[in-house]
Amino acid sequence: MCGIVGFTNDIENAGAVIGEMMDRIRHRGPDAEGKYVDADIALGHRRLSIIDVSSQGDQPIFNEDESLVIVFNGEIYNYRSIREKLEAAGHTFRTNTDTEVLIHGYEEYGEKLLAMLRGMFSFVIWNKNTRELFGARDFFGIKPMYYAEMKGTFMFGSEIKSFLPHPSFEKELNTSALENYLTFQYSPTNETFFKNVYKLPPAHYFKYKDGKLSVKRYWDVHFRADGKPSLDEWVDRISDTFHDSVEAHKIADVEVGSFLSSGVDSSYVAAIADVDKTFTVGFGKDEKYNEIGWAKNFSKAIGKENTSKVITPEEYWGSLSKIQYHMDEPLADPSAVALYFVCNIASEKLKVVLSGEGADEIFGGYNVYSDPDGTLYDKLPRVIRRGIGAAASKLPAKRGVNFFVRKGKDVEERFIGNAYMFTPEQRKELLRIETDAPDPIEITKPYFERVQNKDDVTKMQYLDLHLWMAGDILLKADKMSMANSLELRVPFLDKEVMRLAEQIPTKYRVTHDKGTDETKYITKYAMRLAARKDTPKESAKTAAKKKLGFPVPIRVWLKEDKYYSIVRSAFESESAAKYFNTEPLVRLLDDHKNGKADNSRKIWTVFSFLIWYKVYFENNGAY
């Protein structure tokens, strides 16, 4: 695991500039650094040594005649089998790294190499002869890749902050991203909060030559249910495939540990990974916010050592600027801070951890997936439900009313992912500025169109796999782990696991049959049964335990005078007044404090942006 950065070279002091850019992402690779600079290109690399920990693995790495040079961030789990094919084809290797397999693989297969890979990756290859850059990002977007073209310079990197030292970089807030963020709680498009800086989408590659950029998708998810296998057969297939994935994800020349919460995903990983150490964090003593006791008991049952930490409110609030700095873009997911701390305690003992991200999106684990067609009300004709929903939308919002409003809309109209903070009307009221941000439905529409003939559960999964998972779940997983120089691996997000999950019928992903003990699990049904099968009897009940998912008591804190005052000060600041109307901001906060509404997530969305803005636009990237 590493950090990469580079730019097309048209400056005299390229060596010094690439060095400064590398320093900005030193946390991604504190073990070693390397760079390559010529008249056309500057490439930089920071290394966290995991495979071939000797200096032979230092990057950049070249092919035999040094016409190709690569910088790479990630891990290729099947690199040994690909290497055997390349050696048979006549390629010679100088190292035992997966990096060198990539450069020889590209030399042999071109972009077709990408379909052969199993792993997480973000890499760029420079061809000295053709003067072309080739870059690619992994299937799910586990590893990040940003790029920008400014003043004739094309630059790329693992983190946007690495661009700040370059003399061609122009820092300007992208206000459209701000408006989108207010609805999604993250930046949902390929644009970023920095104007003219973009994300390379997951499962895409780019080519850059003579000032021209082309971007192309090379892989996608294709749900095609196979109704022939029985439920028991699917359970066995999941078990076999996931065991294989976990073994592949354990490939390393250093110790590997595992995160552990009370949910089935991380418990399943920890139970079958056979690692020695697990790591857990929580808040206070309330079981709603603290899974440490459960995690210690589970770790004991599987014979592993658990390291835990109780995060104090002071630690949580004191880390917010650092969190938003490392995130690069504002993210309003409160669990990001908890993830930072669990990464921190793990990094004190090892370099690599396994985690459970991706299981919900792949196997159908979110509670909202159990909503479509799940009640008798759904059996009413669509025209009746739409009429009732239209009438209900004119009433004050509350739980019962919201049910009828939601059921009166098609999934394409109401579902944008697991977070829906501010409606387009609410964000217009909140913002002082005008932007050209699209309606949320316009952002989600292309994804829904690709699965227009699928059922609603599959539609929601497909959308979450492409937006929510990449924009929120994997963003915080990469940035919080790398902030602590820790490699985080996600065995659910494996190409072979996804290939299997694509074929599982919806009824085995989400079931509404609650008649017996064997069918009481609504979401991730088949996967839960596989986890129950593979988990020791002493702790098999985890397959039924409701996941908390790094719960954070922000709704409680925001009612306390100390933290209420901190947020109110931010809402009434000059920075906030540049972009927001102060009165509705303060009203959100006061209504929450006075118990009129739970506005905690909306408040946190705006507050997180203001913290990020202060770091990057008032403190020039310092926290």
Span 231-364+468-538: which CATH code?
3.40.50.620
Question: What pLDDT, on the 0 to 100 scale, is given for residue 544?
Answer: 45
Q: Output helix, strand, coil percentages for the chain, rounded to the nearest 5.
A: 45, 15, 35
- For residue 543, is pLDDT > 70? no
- Higher-pLDDT residue of 547, 65: 65
Q: What is the dihedral of CA 335, 29, 141, 278, to 10 degrees?
A: -50
Q: How many CB atoms lie within 10 A of CB 447?
A: 16
Positions annotated as catalytic residues are 2
Q: Which residue ranges make up each domain of the chain?
A: 2-217, 231-364+468-538
Same fold, 2-217 and 231-364+468-538: no
Task: Indicate the SS3 state at residue 332.
Answer: coil
- For residue 545, is pLDDT > 60? no
Alpha-carbon distance of 619 to 164, in angstroms, equals: 13
Task: For residues 407-418, give the mean pLDDT.
Answer: 87
Amino acid identity for residue 275 in this structure:
V
Asked if 94 and 152 touch (Cβ cutoff 8 Å), the reply is no
Cis, peptide link before residue 60, omega less than 30° from 0: yes
Question: What pLDDT, on the 0 to 100 scale, is given for residue 564?
Answer: 97
Question: What pLDDT, on the 0 to 100 scale, is given for residue 287?
Answer: 55
Task: Indicate the SS3 state at residue 489.
Answer: strand
Phi/psi of residue 426, nearest 5 degrees:
-65, -40
Phi/psi of residue 247, nearest 5 degrees:
-60, -40
Task: For residues 314-330, give the mean pLDDT.
Answer: 97
Alpha-carbon distance of 260 to 281, in angstroms, equals: 9
How confident is the model over 424-461, as pLDDT tens digits? 999 999 999 999 999 999 999 999 999 999 999 999 99
Question: What pLDDT, on the 0 to 100 scale, is given for residue 518?
Answer: 47
For 39-69, b/e burial (b = at least 16 CB within 10 A) is: eebbbbbbbbbbbbbeeebbbbbbbeeeebb
- Higher-pLDDT residue of 475, 548: 475
Q: How far apart are the first and last CA of the chain?
A: 24
How confident is the model over 565-576, as pLDDT tens digits? 999 999 999 999
Question: What pLDDT, on the 0 to 100 scale, is given for residue 360?
Answer: 96
Q: What is the mean pLDDT of the chain?
A: 91
How confident is the model over 222-243, as pLDDT tens digits? 999 999 999 999 999 999 999 9
Asked if 101 and 117 touch (Cβ cutoff 8 Å), the reply is no
What topology is assigned to 2-217 in CATH? Glutamine Phosphoribosylpyrophosphate, subunit 1, domain 1 (3.60.20)
Alpha-carbon distance of 584 to 580, in angstroms, equals: 9
- For residue 613, is pLDDT > 50? yes
Would the CA dihedral through 61, 67, 72, 76 be positive or negative?
Answer: negative
- For residue 396, is pLDDT > 70? no
